[in-house]
Structure 1
Amino acid sequence: MAERLGSFFLSLVIDLCVFRLCKRTGTKPTIPMILVATSQVTLAYYTHPFSNSFESILLCLSLCTYADYAKEGSSKLSFLLGALFSIGVFTRITFPLYASPIGVAYLYQAYKKNNRFTGFVTSVFPFLIGIVAFAVFSIVADSVYYGTLKLTVHGEPFTGVGHVISTLFNPMALASMRPEGEIVITPINNLLYNINTDNLAQHGIHPRYTHFAINLPLLYGPLAILGLFHIPSVFAKIRTDENIHLFYVFVGVVSSGLIGLSIMPHQEARFLCPLLVPLVLIFAWKQSRLTRSFWVTWFLFNVITTYVFGVIHQGGLIPAMDLLYHQTSGLHDCHVLKSGDLTCTSGASNLNMDHNGLNITTNLLFYKTYMPPRHLLVIPKDNGGNHVNVFDFSSDLDKVVEQLEKSSGVILRRHQAGKHEVDFAKTGIPNVYERTIFITPSFVTLPKIHQHRYLLMTTYTPHISFDDVDKMMERAAETNSPESQMNLNVFLILSEKDDV
């Protein structure tokens, strides 16, 4: 809920940008702001902490900054635009595809305001400073965050936030600050990963027309169709409009983003989230009212798609993480059973508990789901011998089978009534115990594992993976039970030994 609320408040920045851009273009803000507020992109994507949502916010801020600069240029606005561009690149590698028309328009405006070349260079200099300064900041921040770079003071690493603050106000300490390690340049790593087709194949390879023919209508419905068809009529009306350059920028952002992303072999609908505001401003340009049929179609489309993508699409993943958190945290009163296996009680308030020198591990295997949000498991760094391994196998069934084959299956037994017990299987190493939990949608045919079987712990519904809707439909036809294929199942891996 904290993440969702944080994303909600950040999404209000987009509303503010739409209002300001409408003022700059001379458009009444009522229709554009209603369209943005009622779009499924806002309701189902901008209220989640997707990198695409942050990319959309940065794009809107860039559009606003450019519009302000075009009205009244200043070094402050140039620097701010450069900073936004730099942060955008470090947020998502696709940001330049959307922002390049803004950059070209900015350079044109800078040249237009300074007829001489020297004046142009001087006005653009703050823009370049903004790019470089925030690129350096982002590189250092990423490197420190990922642990490849450490900053030391007097040869010692920082011990906490208080130490950082005191160092900032101590000139002698600042002079002794030294970096140790290597830097991480996230955009380059991202680019190298995405130009490798083998890497993208793990996430899915799509036809080049997927964004145009499927994803754009899927996200924007009537706005996608009417907005694009509205462009020629607007061009015919605004030839002498002083704000026509803004319309060119909006069209450029839509064209550049769509064409650039369509070249990529992996195409997901959420990649087009930043197009919402440009499409709305194109469609609502100089329009004082829209037809009743459009509003009816628009609201019906967004109510349905918001429920589909905001509720049932991968809808079981977060509830499953809540179960797994209670299954892996606060384990105590661990003791060895007659079979040699181990049982612990879960539910204690103290998560950092001593397990009597025992080393226990829970392996969580996710298959055919979105990347599991590991932070919701709240795994402490010092877990007192209780370890949690999270494996996200996405679509790689071979790795799933390989990991399951290596798992030690738990022997099924009766638990004491009213007591929350968690069992672990003995391994070939003394005092080392483990259990494996397999999380996968119901349409997946469970692989047969030698000397292992599955115990269904619980099921979460509704849960639909639209990335594999074809497989779900095939399975529904085989079982003649479509509703049974809309679940996320959580299995405990058991040993085929007799129950005790």
Structure 2
Amino acid sequence: MFNWRNTYLFSIAVRFFLALTNSYIHPDEHFQNFEVLTSSILNYTTSIPWEFTSENPARSMGPLYLIYGPILYLIRITGSTFTPLQIWYIMRLQFLVLTWIFTDFLVYRMLPTRPERIKGIFFISTSYVTLTYQQHCFSNSIETILVLLAVYLVDEMRFFTNEHRRTLVSSYFVLGSVVALGIFNRITFPAFLILPSVFVFNHLRYSNHKLKAISMGCLGFLIPSISFIVLDSIYFGHENTGMSILQDPFGDFSKYIITPWNSLKYNSSTQNLAKHGIHPYYTHLLVNFPQMVGPTGLMFLFYKGNKYLRATPFLSLVSGLIFLSTVPHQELRFLIPLVPLACCCFDLEKFQPVIVEKNGTSKKTSSMLVSALMFLWYVFNIILSILMGVLHQGGVIPVLDHFHTSPSLLTNDGTSAQIWWRTYSPPNWILGNKDNTLSIVISTSEAPIPVDLDGKRSQLLIDTMGSDFDYVQGLAKDLQVLGVSKIYLITPVASYLTTVSEPEKYRNVWNYTLHLDLDHLDFGNLKSLTPGIGVYEIL
């Protein structure tokens, strides 16, 4: 029978399915965690991004070790033989469980009535953002859970009663810890709490335990903050930094590395943001947010009479949307925390007509508008779940795993090379290279880097991004001149069909069908719509 409960149970099965698919939404889901941690914990050969290698590191290791560290260290200590792909699946399942438990619990506790709770959890669990983005290993996914927890704590303070005063004092410690973890995870975290923080100050104003509450909040903030600062200072500092801190913690404050401060300074520069893309200030409001909530966004247009306008989740939603829009670099995933907040504020009742019965009682009934809206919600989220949860760059990880599990592709008494073209940057950690025989190079037609052979390294991985194909061909010829035994071109099947004019010079080694490249579509050429990614040996 089709009802909300059965739909919710079905969505759980869909969550598990999509958690074990291979879609690849954004490079940060690999390069801001696994590329860093698998290098230091599992000794994989990886490509560590600039946030962790610059003189002023902009990403903290604290949240990474807290979220990913336990599983990776357990694998290391037990000597488990999990492949990188299996490790990735385990982490994705961890995100699934954390999201499921925290989201449902917090929404259930925060919303006042049973129908409200059912509605909120239903929309959250059937949203493609929950089913896809939230289960990928983004710092934004962690931020979503922390934002919900913080909003729940603020909401508790907002509607306190006299008998709750003492118990709420301990909530300040938890709130302080959540804010600290949120800031060290992503510097954008406070944006979601600027407007709701009014209720915290209001609670303090009427509290009989002001000093104790403030002290507990500061203590909760300082304990994780100091821990993360010390950890980052040791990790990013010189070899003797740890001993120096232990011997004289207050001697030289310049040895301490505060990654959120470095991130704030970096992102305050428009010149720096231009390297990652500058967007109009309205992008979040008019492009990204509508893409996330789909047809239900129409409910926010009819704001008059909306009973949620003063609700804590709605104020947090508005706060995040406003203050994140002041930064000119605006990516859709930055708004992931807004989705569960929005789902708590969908007001269906205002679209339901009131029927007055003969005995004078009145009740609201479902309307055609609500039915149409629900139908569009299902269609929207089914399509986007398939697109972003299965097809989007879905072959990159399987290709890397194929190279990992097929050593014959990589060695032939000489050097082998992988040339990646028109794909997202391949996450090198999936190759699971531990013997330091892998050399990783980014070389494009816009920023060409000469490729040379290192006698100690028999494998080359070259990411050419979206370079001209002539440049890719020239690079392959240079490798042949250098004596590379096997050269593979890894590219979407669509790009191969629409670009390669001499297919006799390529031998198809392996294909993966569930891959879609959305960056090079040409609707005037149907071949560009061909799904799949191929591994082609250059003859």
Does the alignment reach a TM-score above 0.5?
A: yes
Aligned residues: 399
The answer for the alignment partner of 1:325 in structure 2 is: 404
The answer for the alignment partner of 1:215 in structure 2 is: 288
Q: 1:149 to 1:310 in 2, by over 3 A?
A: farther
Cα deviation for residue 79 of structure 1 reads 0.6
Cα deviation for residue 461 of structure 1 reads 3.6
Give the distance between the partners of 1:143 and 1:305, measured in 2 at CA. Answer: 41
Unaligned runs of at least 5 residues, structure 2:
1-88, 351-363, 481-486, 490-508
Residue 91 of structure 2 aligns to a residue in which SS? Answer: helix
| Equivalent of 1:232 in 300, 304, 307 | 304
The answer for the alignment partner of 2:527 in structure 1 is: 481
Q: 1:29 to 1:464 in 2, by over 3 A?
A: same
| Equivalent of 1:390 in 437, 440, 444 | 440
Give the distance between the partners of 2:255 and 2:138, measured in 1 at CA. Answer: 28
Q: Is the contact between residue 423 and residue 466 of structure 2 (CA under 8 Å) also seen in structure 1?
A: no
| Equivalent of 1:343 in 386, 389, 413 | 413
Residue 398 of structure 1 aligns to a residue in which SS? Answer: coil
| Equivalent of 1:259 in 289, 311, 322 | 322
Q: Does 1:250 align with 2:324?
A: no
Which residue identity lines up with residue 474 of structure 2 in the other structure? I
C-alpha RMSD over aligned residues: 3.8
Unaligned runs of at least 5 residues, structure 1:
158-173, 239-243, 335-341, 345-359, 408-426
Which residue identity lines up with residue 234 of structure 1 in the other structure? N
The answer for the alignment partner of 2:91 in structure 1 is: 3
Q: 1:123 to 1:176 in 2, by over 3 A?
A: closer
Cα deviation for residue 272 of structure 1 reads 0.8
| Equivalent of 1:449 in 462, 474, 480 | 474
Higher RCO by CA contacts (8 Å cutoff, separation 6 or greater): 2
Q: Is the contact between residue 149 and residue 179 of structure 1 (CA under 8 Å) also seen in structure 2?
A: no
Which residue identity lines up with residue 306 of structure 2 in the other structure? V
Cα deviation for residue 370 of structure 1 reads 4.0
Q: Is the contact between residue 151 and residue 178 of structure 1 (CA under 8 Å) also seen in structure 2?
A: no
Give the distance between the partners of 2:250 and 2:406, measured in 1 at CA. Answer: 43
Which residue identity lines up with residue 228 of structure 2 in the other structure? S
Give the distance between the partners of 2:247 and 2:365, measured in 1 at CA. Answer: 62
Q: Is the contact between residue 422 and residue 465 of structure 2 (CA under 8 Å) also seen in structure 1?
A: yes
Q: 1:280 to 1:432 in 2, by over 3 A?
A: closer
Which residue identity lines up with residue 133 of structure 1 in the other structure? I
Deviates more, 1:202-211 or 1:50-59: 202-211
The answer for the alignment partner of 2:379 in structure 1 is: 300
Give the distance between the partners of 1:303 and 1:294, measured in 2 at CA. Answer: 14
Q: 1:364 to 1:211 in 2, by over 3 A?
A: farther
Give the distance between the partners of 1:433 and 1:129, measured in 2 at CA. Answer: 50
Residue 195 of structure 2 aligns to a residue in which SS? Answer: helix
Give the distance between the partners of 2:334 and 2:147, measured in 1 at CA. Answer: 13
Give the distance between the partners of 1:80 and 1:299, measured in 2 at CA. Answer: 37
| Equivalent of 1:84 in 178, 181, 194 | 178
When normalised by structure 1's length, the TM-score is 0.69
Q: 1:186 to 1:177 in 2, by over 3 A?
A: closer
Which residue identity lines up with residue 308 of structure 1 in the other structure? L
The answer for the alignment partner of 1:436 in structure 2 is: 460
Residue 344 of structure 2 aligns to a residue in which SS? Answer: helix
Give the distance between the partners of 1:318 and 1:18, measured in 2 at CA. Answer: 34
Cα deviation for residue 330 of structure 1 reads 12
Q: Is the contact between residue 28 and residue 286 of structure 1 (CA under 8 Å) also seen in structure 2?
A: no
Q: Is the contact between residue 152 and residue 178 of structure 1 (CA under 8 Å) also seen in structure 2?
A: no
Q: 1:490 to 1:136 in 2, by over 3 A?
A: farther
Give the distance between the partners of 1:189 and 1:229, measured in 2 at CA. Answer: 38
Q: Does 1:140 align with 2:230?
A: yes
When normalised by structure 2's length, the TM-score is 0.64
Q: Does 1:93 align with 2:180?
A: no
The answer for the alignment partner of 1:463 in structure 2 is: 515
Which residue identity lines up with residue 301 of structure 2 in the other structure? F
